[in-house]
Amino acid sequence: MHILNIHGINDVRLDPAERPVAGDYDVVLKIRACGICGTDLSFIKHGAIPQPGGKPMPLGHEAAGEVMAVGGAVEGVHVGQRIVLNPMRTPALVGCGGPEGAFTEELLVRGARLNDSLLPIPGDLPYDIAALTEPLAVALHGVNRSEAKAGDKVVVFGCGPIGLAAVLWLVDRGVNDVVAVDISSQRLAYASALGAAGTVNPAAENLRARLLELHGPARTLLREAVGTNAYIDAAGAPNIVSDVISMARAHARLVVVAAYRDPVPLNLSAMLTTEMTITTSMGYPTEMPEVLAALPRLREKVASMISHRYAFDSVIEALGVAGTGASAKVLIEFGADASA
């Protein structure tokens, strides 16, 4: 078998690997589908987390598969069970700095626990849809942190997989006035298909003027503001925070989901007059079970987010596509039955 490893900056390889063996508290999953995440691309671009002995770091954490082997001390899990991995509940954070990564045919899940690191796939939900549970949970946590509710006006910056999933969840909870912002016309089209009421390409349009048109004006103590209630930053462009501060209405909320590598300036004086809130969103402390339960109902919408599918032996090519504005979610499939 093989595993996808980072050997250095912009050096990712599909290496031969030994088949894993489950210890008493472990499970081995036969991977059926695994999504490419922006975190994967960031590790490749900026460098991996150092591994013991200088070993390469494995990638992949958005995985769904079938149980192949179960350790004698693992309770409630059986061979053949269909499972979504919760990598944040694994001891070494699968695919994010530990010794295991899910871009492989067979994945060792150490210290496996049912309804914790291993979540049963409901009904006949196919593996390709189930594999999107993790990024959908990231987005749902960001939406929850925004406190957006029906009747609010919300802007989502960035229409990659997390931003698109945020649009999906906002619309699903009755937020009908969602505006998506991205410089890719293809990604804006995906956002519109998921229910965004408006789109803005800031490379071709004046963002503030367009949001005033779409969300209307609001008055603050000292200036005219945009009528948006909440902003979700799933893009990470260095100007977003300052742009939002400059146009925010009173008590507006900004949730930063994107990972910033460098500090960004804050105009605290402008924030003082609006009493706006800036907060962050990390991972999915409680959201994965909720997402998995909702997927049968949202199956068709979620499927529309998958822009590209690749076989595992073409994963290097797929990584290149995932880094372009023409993609939404890029999925790696193992075998012919990922959509079954």
Query: pLDDT tens digit string along 258-306?
Result: 999 999 999 999 999 999 999 999 999 999 999 999 999 999 999 999 9
Asked if the model's pLDDT at residue 193 lies above 80, the reply is: yes
Amino acid at position 119, single letter? L
pLDDT band at 133 (very low <50, low <70, confident <90, very high): very high
pLDDT band at 336 (very low <50, low <70, confident <90, very high): low
Asked if the model's pLDDT at residue 15 lies above 70, the reply is: yes
pLDDT at residue 240, rounded to an integer: 97
pLDDT at residue 331, rounded to an integer: 98
User: Cβ of 317: how many Cβ atoms within 10 Å?
Assistant: 13
Neighbouring residues of 281: CB distance < 8 A, sequence distance ≥ 6: 138, 141, 142, 145, 255, 256, 257
pLDDT at residue 335, rounded to an integer: 81
pLDDT at residue 221, rounded to an integer: 83
Q: Residue for token digits 């599909």?
A: 14
Neighbouring residues of 214: CB distance < 8 A, sequence distance ≥ 6: 177, 179, 197, 198, 200
Neighbouring residues of 317: CB distance < 8 A, sequence distance ≥ 6: 310
pLDDT at residue 233, rounded to an integer: 98
Domains belonging to the chain, first-starting first, are: 2-132+305-333 (3.90.180.10), 140-280 (3.40.50.720)
**pTM of this structure:** 0.96
Which helix H or strand E contains 155, and what residues bound it?
strand 153-157
Q: Using CA atoms, how far apart are residues 231 and 228, in angstroms rounded to an integer?
A: 7
pLDDT at residue 339, rounded to an integer: 65
Average pLDDT of the chain is 96
DSSP lists the bridge partners of residue 34 as 63, 332
Asked if the model's pLDDT at residue 340 lies above 70, the reply is: no
Q: Using CA atoms, how far apart are residues 39 and 283, in angstroms rounded to an integer?
A: 12
Q: Residue for token digits 């619309």?
A: 171
pLDDT at residue 199, rounded to an integer: 98
DSSP string, 187-218: HHHHHHHTT-SEEE-TTTS-HHHHHHHHH-EE
pLDDT at residue 338, rounded to an integer: 65
pLDDT at residue 40, rounded to an integer: 96
Q: Residues of the chain with pLDDT > 90: what percent?
A: 95
Sheet architecture: strand order including 57-58: 11-16, 2-8, 57-58
At 258, is the secondary structure helix, strand, or coil? coil
Where on the phi/psi map is residue 129: left (φ > 0), alpha (ψ -120 to 50), or beta?
alpha
Neighbouring residues of 286: CB distance < 8 A, sequence distance ≥ 6: none
pLDDT band at 223 (very low <50, low <70, confident <90, very high): confident
Q: Using CA atoms, how far apart are residues 261 and 123, in angstroms rounded to an integer?
A: 40
Predicted confidence (pLDDT) per residue in 46-98, tens digit:
999 999 988 999 999 999 999 999 999 999 999 999 999 999 999 989 999 99
Q: Using CA atoms, how far apart are residues 206 and 42, in angstroms rounded to an integer?
A: 29
Q: Residues of the chain with pLDDT > 70: what percent?
A: 99
pLDDT at residue 252, rounded to an integer: 97
